[in-house]
Amino acid sequence: MRQQGTNSQPWSPTSVLFLVLQCVYLVGLWELGEAVCVPSTGCDTAYAFYRVQANENLTTISQKFQTTAEKILAANPGIVDTNYVVIGSPLYIPFTCDCFNDQLLHNFQYVVQSSDSPYSIATFTYDNLTTESWVGTANSLPDVHFVITGTSLDVPVNCSCGNPTVTSDYGLFLTYPVLEGTGSNLNGIASNFNTSADLLRKFNPSVLWTDFQPTQYAFIPVTDRNGNYPRYIGDKNDAGKSTNTGVIVGAAIGGTAILFILLALVLYFLCVLQPRKRQKLGDLLIIKSSGNQSRPASEILQSHSTLSKTSLIIPGSASTGSTRLSDYAIDRSVEFTYEELANATGNFSVANKIGEGGFAVVFYGVIRGQKLAIKRMNLQATKEFLAELQVLTHVHHTNLVQLIGYCTTDYLFLVYEFMENGTLDYHLHSAKAAEAPLSWSSRVQIALDAARGLEYLHEHTRPSYIHRDIKSANILLDKDARAKVADFGLTKLTETKIDGNLATISTRVVGTWGYLSPEYATFGEVSPMVDVFAFGVVLLELLSGREAILRGSLVEEVTPSGTALPKEDQTRSLVKYFDPVLKAPNGRDKLPKFMDPALGDNYTSDAAWKMAQLAGACTQDLPDKRPNIRKAVVALMAMSSATCEWEIGAFANHRATDTSGS
């Protein structure tokens, strides 16, 4: 339980803000009259738009949405093979649209799995049909970014049964996530669903059609399995009521006047109230010295002979520009003892060593039945140690490596989940790569996973983070070859914004040559585009199987005329190596010669060319010419879908050949 100072107030800024929002909502209801669902009891059937994910079939999907495979089949007459559905293919999921707290929605039940977070559940598990904040609110989560494995959650998905004030001709509606970059403009959606833009506007008065957000949704009238539009069915008095969306909009308008008055109170409380104190790192961490004495970490680290006073200051704090060790707070991390880590790793034996860097060694260990990766860092790496804590105790995403805990003795230890398949770098550049190369579909999925992890850091955390050391060695693979971004020791915390965009920040250059963007390597300018550039290099590695820096005889460049240059003892970046592909008019024709020989012909040329184009866009010299990571995610989702269809076709052809041969 956290303690407060003796003069602390019983009100927190969050509670005051919640009170203000309640007042605004109640005032809106007072002006509008009683707010009820339309119809008051909801309706028996609504649809949710859902894309099939990897390793899913109708049975697993029906379990996720608490329905049956037969009901999904009835809503999707186009499905031919009931035992197989193509990854990425769209489905209409039928569910009941219930009236809950005067709002039409359905709460799906979901049991949290390992590495889940409210964000990943909303964005990936339920395919943007809900949001992280809605999941947090529906379950009264104390931290909207974190949830305990095994917890049963309500996952709210909004729905509509129609609006008789618009027209009673439509009574079956689809909840459709409006995602940027997927034909999300009003006319495009209207065309795709064979309806009119004007009708969509009327049924969705709160949607800002010119300012899309990734998790915004729209209600779209759709036909039943017979191709007919079911009419609105409701109470006789429903014609004078608005939909729940209209109620919310009206409530917001009705409360505008009082909002301005109460907003001043919010600012007062936010500025005047003393925030609740958190446990400090210096009070939590105990360093055991060789004399078997225990003292607070802050005391011993500040007096340690290898550390200067200034080395305890971490650049990049949001408020003061620096963070001292004694100012840093730990959230949800397990504190391990040195003895536990030593026993788990065979006293840090060479046999258990699985990685090594400039200031750290990583060991494999098992504690309490859980496989772990244990990073041992020396005390000179205090800044990197705290940087990783700062990120990983505040961000939780299925595509970011999970921090389990820490320990401090004469060394600093960080304990992570163990990733069975090691680094992407190992699978692309070691002898293993030639013996058992990653398949093309695995490479596309790895790229998509890494992009999603970066997207979360860049766009879904407050403040946002820039990794600054994206490379194949910092992308880890689990037992299923799914990727997670790791190693946050160089992560830069940013929250400065200009016109809604993250500002460029000047800083000391750190990172890995071959992955550094021009503006960063030359001027030390940091923005999310630094990570985008490095990610583009990783895409080139996935395509070619080559390292970010080519050395010696590996440097093979072809001039535009096709004349081979002499092989000399030189180095060249992978980005420059791909110039004949990315900067020539006939680059697509040249791409096969640049592909990883280990792949052979086992890849789809269309998807490979699109990945090369995306890599070229990400590695543009000027940062404002590069796409943001969200656009990269959308592009890779399309590649993943195309790759799955290609694999299915290849498999079918192979079966047909075998059958004819027999």
Please state the domain extents for the chain: 12-36+241-273, 41-229, 281-417, 424-652
Say if residue 291's pLDDT is above 50: no
For 12, 266, 267, 276, the CA distances from 271, given in Å and listed in that order, are 11, 9, 6, 13
Buried b (16+ CB within 10 A) or exposed e, 150-162: eeebbbbbbbbbb
**43 or 652: which carries more pLDDT confidence?**
43
**What number is the average pLDDT over the span 165-178?**
92
Helical (H) or strand (E) element with 454:
helix 440-459
Mean pLDDT comparison of 133-137, 292-296, 493-497, 623-627, highest-scoring range: 623-627
Say if residue 246's pLDDT is above 70: no
85-89: long-range contacts at Cβ-Cβ below 8 A with a sequence spacing of 24 or more? 85/52, 85/56, 85/57, 85/58, 85/61, 86/52, 86/644, 86/645, 86/648, 87/52, 87/53, 87/54, 87/56, 87/640, 87/641, 87/644, 88/51, 88/52, 88/637, 88/640, 88/641, 88/644, 89/51, 89/52
pLDDT tens, residue by residue, 535-573:
999 999 999 999 999 876 555 544 334 444 445 546 789
Contact at 8 Å (CB) between 590 and 578?
Answer: no
Identify the pLDDT of residue 438. 92
Average pLDDT, the chain: 75
Give yes or no: 211 in active site: no
Pick the CATH number of 41-229 from 3.10.350.10, 3.40.50.720, 3.40.50.10190, 3.65.10.10: 3.10.350.10
pLDDT tens, residue by residue, 58-80:
888 999 999 998 899 889 887 76
Helical (H) or strand (E) element with 371:
strand 370-377
**What number is the average pLDDT over the span 411-433?**
89
Q: For 281-417, CATH number?
A: 3.30.200.20
Helical (H) or strand (E) element with 135:
helix 132-138
3-class secondary-structure state, position 155: strand
3-class secondary-structure state, position 316: coil
Beta bridge partners of 110: 153
Beta bridge partners of 369: none
Identify the pLDDT of residue 545. 94
Identify the pLDDT of residue 229. 93
Across 10-24, 71-85, 527-541, least confident range: 10-24
Q: How far apart are CA 401 and CA 115, in angstroms?
A: 9
Active-site option among 469, 487, 531, 596: 469
Report percent pLDDT > 90 for the chain: 37
Identify the pLDDT of residue 564. 46
Q: What is the 3-state secondary structure (H, E, C) of 486-501?
A: CCCCCCEEECCEECCE
Say if residue 201's pLDDT is above 60: yes
Identify the pLDDT of residue 264. 54
Say if residue 504's pLDDT is above 60: no
Identify the pLDDT of residue 650. 59
Would the annotation count 288 as a binding residue?
A: no
pTM over 0.75: no
Identify the pLDDT of residue 512. 84
Contact at 8 Å (CB) between 132 and 396?
Answer: no
pLDDT tens, residue by residue, 386-406:
878 777 777 888 899 988 888
**What number is the average pLDDT over the span 466-486?**
92
Q: Taking phi first (over 0 means left), then psi (-120 to 50 degrees means alpha), and beta for anything else, what does residue 101 get?
A: left
CATH 1.10.510.10 corresponds to the domain 424-652: yes
Q: How far apart are CA 200 and CA 382, in angstroms?
A: 55
Where does the pLDDT of residue 257 fall: very low under 50, low under 70, confident under 90, or very high at 90 and above?
very low
Say if residue 574's pLDDT is above 70: yes
Contact at 8 Å (CB) between 430 and 421?
Answer: no
Identify the pLDDT of residue 194. 86
